[in-house]
Structure 1
Amino acid sequence: MTPDLAVRPRAGTGPPAGLGRLRTTRSRPSPVLLLLAAAVVALVATPVVFIVTELLAQPDGSVWQAFWRPRTQTLTLNTIALVVTVTTGTLLIGLPTAYLIARTDLAWRRGWQVLTALPLAVPSYVAGFAWVSLTPVRGFWGSVIVITLVSSPYVTLPVTAALLRADTDAEAVARTLGAGPLRAFWSATLPQIAPAAGAGALLVALYTLGEFGAVAIMRFPALTWSIQTAFGGTFNRSLALVLCLILVALALVVVVLERAVRRRDTGHGRVRVDEAAARARLGPGGQLLAAGALTGLCFAAIGVPVVTMTIRAVQSVAERELEAARLAEAAATTVLLGLGGAVLAALLALPIGILSARHRARTVGALETATYLGHGLPGIVLGLSMVYLALLLLPSLYQTLWVLVLAYGILFVPKAAGSVRTAVGQVPLELEDVARSLGRSPVRVWTAVTARLAWPGIAAGALLVALTVMKELPATLLLRPTGTDTLATRLWQLTDIAAYGAAAPYAIVLVVIASVPAFLLSRRLGTS
């Protein structure tokens, strides 16, 4: 469910010129890859198995009663409304932003390219605290504003990459036939970027389904917050499990929509040779208007949280509330877990991504779809399932960082798998066939040819996972070893007791650390 994080090939790394449209799919999936992918799916399906097992163990009638409660239906409708509104908002922000960066002569394009990606580094709960402390917005619209602002780069980044590699010849022909700029773009370019926009928007939808921090801060009754309350506060287990099952069903709908959008990808798009000639001129007035709009967007998404937390951090230093040693330890743990989760997610995603890039079989499609279901669940459900699995199979791993890294790998496999799929799909099969004809084994062909060309896209997916792991909260709260804190968990602990001054340094350091992968991601996916 991750947007197609396509990376523009560098000079000399693409397929040889003059070969025309090259094959990127094979007919028969590798049995070894199928077996590895099935093992990954079995691991990723752990939360769903946990939910079903626990549901079957509930008293007779309790599950049915919980399902038909009016409150359950209200929570479901609230969540659907939130997902639809946020997804629409990210499209309304992401598409124009990507067009300004990729297809106009916007001044300081590279700077805007980085700034519009940096909201990925701002955790939703940090942005939520900032907006709550400065404005009266709460509830539904408060949640919409915060989640839309921090997740809009999920649309901006892939659409920018798609626009940069889109074929502009058809649009030029439409203009010569008398079509205006908007009509030419609508008929010729929009079909080329629609799969990227759709994949990004659907990732936003899945992210919103599992969002906990922002809706809890805004006190909006969505499924995730209610699940946390049912498991932790009232401990209404039947209700919590039913709500989890509803989230799984909604995640499945999102997955099906993503696959439908991807099937409409007609394979358009080649990297343009003369990018400057294809950029629209904005003029002085347009430059001023565009700069003003982007400045407002970046201030709302980045400036408000950073300024608010900086002011509180200064107050905490003045009041001697700064926990310097504990802050440094939490920062080191956050970086370590981010790298570990990114590496594991990328490794788990390799068989799924390679199969989905090279084969269109229904078996492959089913395996790929199954890996996405756990990503729509709240972190507390994944955490409980991992506790269950660790105590059942390997009790010695319980309360260790290994279980936490494994949870991150399971949770964020989809983010890495989409990048692997796109990167491998851009490597022509002819190059692999040539290497095989020279007597190299499949493993040697992968390391020498496919992986060598696909690694930038795979690395982009790993960066996205590392960025997300650093901000992850619910699963980390449940699975972290006793006495171990990340920046996110310590921040949440302090804000939960209204120690906002002491929490502010953790928020600032978290945003700064998360900005590194966000910056690298924007540079890798953006303009050259």
Structure 2
Amino acid sequence: MRLRRSPVTLALAAAVAALALLPLGYIAWYTADVGWSGIRELVLRPRVAELLWNTTRLVAGTVAVCAVVGVGAAWLIERSSLPGRRIWHVLLVAPLAVPAFVNSYAWISLLPGLDTYGGALLVVSLSYFPFVYLPIAAAFRGLDPALEETARGLGLSSWAVFLRVQLPQLRVALLGGSLLVALHLLAEFGALQMLRYPTFTTAIYDQYRATFNGPGATMLAGVLVLLCLVLLLAEIRLRGRRGYARTAKGAVRPVRPVALRGLTGPALAALAAVVALSLLVPLGSLGYWMAAGASTALDGAALVATTGTTLGLAAAAAVVTTGMALPTGWLAVRARGRVATLLERSTYLGSAVPGIVVALALVTLSIRVTPWLYQTVPVLLAAYAILFLPRAIVTVRAAVEQSPRVYDDVAASLGASAADRLRRITLPLLAPGIGAGAALVFLAVVTELTATLLLAPTGTTTLATAFWSASSALEYGAAAPYAVVMVLLSAPATVLLSRDARRGLTT
């Protein structure tokens, strides 16, 4: 039987989907077990209403700010005569190398009075606006310039062209980027805890620490999951069914940039302010605290050991998660159908669950069902897999799409077994996609904080948790070296994200 139709592959993909949906299943089971009276007692409280207000207004404000900054910056880079567009593009993507909780540490250590709604809005917006900028910039590069030139030829101003021609075609990219910002913010714990801004994630963590996974924490997790599902459905609804795809590529033609003239100075000043606030402030703060911390003894051995532990966990998670992505990515291409689509989408839905909910579910299940696995590396790796499976599946699926079926068919006709075809043909062809997916998972695990705090085995310290322990104790100088290493390890991802886009810019 051919590998692409093997029931073993289907069973493996089903097992991966079941793992991805485990946190959702746990929340649903617990909610049903508590009953309506328990839900009413635990959810319909003034404290939950306060958390809902804090969370929704922060999400709404951050999405709005990120949309304005991301769309405006993308227009300047892709459609204007702004000088040095390549350099500005790299600088606008670079904040992704600084984790949000490190950015929060940088700001709060310099301005302790930033623990307000305005402070939280500022910090998380500076951390997340690249999630909107990147898809909008990519969408701008895919637009047909002929439509814009025709609109200008009909007498429309640049502003009118943007509103009536460009913005409608950016709708899908804008909604996708905004959804990504909103989901990241719902899952954010470290940055908001450091800023002392209460949301559902911080409240769940506090409840867990206070009552060790009491019913209050689980019900708050249920509300948080519901908010995530509402966002996913709202994005699908707002996206609509209209498309703006071009029927043909047509002749390759360069985009004629809009001359800024007297607005060049203000545009440069605005971008410089964004870059300074999102990049120079956190890096400058890290440099300051590194210098300040030099007066105290730096425990180099602890830093090296923690870095080694982090790299080891990240490597193990990359191998496990990418291996789990293989059957799902393979079925999605080689056995297209409702079952394969359902299994693939299940992994995406599971990863949309905030990390603290994933950790809470795994803690409870491991204690009740498999107590010998509580606070062990396998449970931690399972959490990483649930959170980061889509990063591996997307790249594996792309590699399978580009891998011709004929090679496997020819090998099968020559009598090669399924195992031989997998080892000698399939895996070498998929190697680039597997490597890319593993790299994405590796970099994500290096800076993961929330699940690691709750699930890491006793005595296991990563860069993120060591940084968190020091910064929570207000030992900013001691925390700085761990933050610097995380930024350095995250930098390659930023380079990869910006490299392809730079090729489309001429200045």
Q: TM-score range by the shorter chain?
A: 0.7 to 0.9
Higher mean C-alpha displacement, 97-106 vs 371-380:
371-380
Residue 508 of structure 1 corresponds to 484
CA contact (8 A) 2:80 2:260 kept: no
Q: What are the equivalent positions in structure 2 for 1:167-316 lying under 5 Å apart?
A: 167-235=144-212, 237-260=214-237, 264=241, 266=243, 268=245, 274=252, 277-283=254-260, 285-316=262-293
- CA contact 2:194–2:472 (8 Å) conserved in 1: no
Q: Which residue matches 2:351?
A: 375
Question: 1:208 is matched by which residue type in structure 2?
Answer: L
Q: 1:367 to 1:215 in 2, by over 3 A?
A: same
Q: 1:335 matched to which residue of 2?
A: 311
Distance 1:221 1:283, change over 3 A: closer
Tell me the alpha carbon deviations over residues 349-378 of structure 1, each in whole angstroms, 9 at most, x when there is no partner: 456567778999766665455434443444
- Distance verdict in 2 for CA 1:38–1:169, change over 3 Å: farther
Aligned residue in 2 for 1:25: none
Distance 2:49 2:333 in 1: 38
Q: Which range is displaced more, 355-364 or 311-320?
A: 355-364
Counterpart contact for 1:357–1:424, Cα < 8 Å: no
2:444 aligned residue:
468
Aligned mates of 2:450, 2:43 — CA distance in 1: 24
* Residue in structure 1 matched with residue 53 of structure 2 by the alignment: 77
CA contact (8 A) 2:51 2:199 kept: yes
- Matching residue's letter, 2:358: L
Encode CA deviations 1:324-352: one digit per residue, 9 max, x unaligned. 11112222333343344345444544565
Whether the 8 Å contact between 1:255 and 1:369 is mirrored in structure 2 is: no
Cα deviation digits, residues 438-482 of structure 1 (max 9, x gap): 89899989x9899969957x8666555443322211111122222
Tell me whether 231-240 or 70-79 shows the greater mean CA deviation: 231-240
Determine helix, strand or coil for the equivalent of 2:294: helix
CA distance in 2, matches of 1:463, 1:153: 20
TM-score normalised by L of structure 2:
0.83
Partner amino acid for 1:124? A
SS at match of 1:117: helix
Moved more, 191-200 or 436-445: 436-445
- Structure 1 spans left out of the alignment, 5+ residues: 1-28
Q: Call closer, same or farther: CA 1:395–1:350 in 2, change over 3 Å.
A: same
The one-character-per-residue Cα deviations of 1:116-142 (angstroms, maximum 9, x if unpaired) are: 112112122221122223333223222
Shift of residue 289 of structure 1?
3.0
Deviation at 1:205, TM superposition (A): 0.8
Return 5+ residue gaps in structure 2 as ranges.
Answer: none
**How many Å separate the matches in 2 of 1:278 and 1:308?**
39
| CA distance, structure 1, for counterparts of residue 53 and residue 193 of structure 2 | 17
C-alpha root-mean-square deviation of aligned residues, in Å? 3.8
The amino acid across from 2:93 in the alignment is A
Task: Using the TM superposition, give the Cα deviation of residue 297 of structure 1 relative to its aligned residue in structure 2, in angstroms.
Answer: 0.9
Q: 1-side partners of 2:425 and 2:159: how far apart?
A: 44
In the alignment, what sits opposite 1:19? none
Distance 1:297 1:57, change over 3 A: same
Match of 2:115 in 1: 138
Distance across 1 between alignment mates of 2:168 and 2:399: 22
Q: Distance in 1 between matches of 2:496 and 2:41?
A: 49
In percent, how many aligned pairs have the same letter?
38
Task: Determine the C-alpha separation between the residues in 2 that align with 1:192 and 1:354.
Answer: 32
Per-residue CA deviations over 1:213-255 (Å, capped at 9, x if unaligned) read: 1221222221111111111125572221111111111111122
Letter in 2 for 1:248: V
1:518 aligned onto 2:488: no
Residues 1:376 and 1:58: Cα distance change in structure 2 (over 3 Å):
same
Indicate conservation of the 8 Å contact 2:408/2:426, yes or no.
no
Aligned equivalents of 1:264, 1:419: Cα separation in 2: 26
Asked if 2 retains the 8 angstrom alpha-carbon contact of 1:165 and 1:272, the reply is no
Tell me what 1:478 maps to: 454
1:209–1:251 contact (8 Å) kept in structure 2:
yes
**Local SS of the residue matching 1:116:** helix
CA–CA distance in 1 between the matches of 2:203 and 2:330? 38
Using CA pairs under 8 Å that are at least 6 residues apart, name the structure with larger relative contact order, 1 or 2.
1
Specify the code of the residue in structure 2 equivalent to 1:42: A
Which residue of 40, 43, 52 corresponds with 2:16? 40
Q: What is the aligned partner in structure 2 of residue 385 from structure 1?
A: 361
Please give the alpha-carbon distance, in whole angstroms, between the structure 2 residues aligned to 1:439 and 1:267: 42
Q: Match of 2:135, as an amino acid?
A: P
| Residue deviations 1:187-211 (CA, integer Å, cap 9, x gap) | 4333333222211110111111111
Distance in structure 2 (CA, Å) of the matches to 1:489 and 1:244: 22
Q: 2:126 aligns with which of 122, 131, 149?
A: 149
Partner of 1:412: 388
Question: CA 1:372–1:453 in 2, change beyond 3 Å: closer, same or farther?
Answer: closer
Matched, 1:401 2:372: no
- The question of whether the paired residues in 1 share the 8 Å contact of 2:396 and 2:430 is answered with no
Deviates more, 1:69-78 or 1:174-183: 174-183
Distance 1:340 1:527, change over 3 A: farther
SS of the residue corresponding to residue 245 of structure 2 reads coil
Q: Deviations over 1:250-283 (max 9, x none)?
A: 11112223444566462625778656x3041445
Q: Which deviates the most, 164-173 or 255-264? A: 255-264
Pair 1:118-2:108 in alignment: no
Q: What per-residue deviation string (whole Å, max 9, x for no partner) do you get for residues 376-427 of structure 1? A: 4443332233344556776665544343222111012244455667x479x6
Q: Structure 1 residues 459, 399: closer, same or farther in 2, change over 3 A? A: same
| Matching residue within 53, 78, 85 for 1:102 | 78
Residue 166 (structure 1) aligns with = 143
- Decide whether the 8 Å contact of 2:375 with 2:456 is kept in 1: yes
Tell me if structure 2 keeps the 8 A contact 1:378–1:474. Answer: no
- Tell me the number of residue pairs that the alignment of Structure 1 and Structure 2 aligns: 494
Q: SS where residue 318 of structure 1 aligns?
A: coil
C-alpha change, 1:51 and 1:433, in structure 2 (3 Å) is: closer
Q: Which moved more, 1:370-379 or 1:201-210?
A: 370-379
- Higher mean alpha-carbon deviation, 245-254 vs 515-524, is at 515-524
- Pair 115,93 (structure 1): closer, same or farther in 2 beyond 3 Å: same
Letter in 1 for 2:486: L
Instruction: Look up the SS of the partner of 1:233 in the other structure.
Output: helix
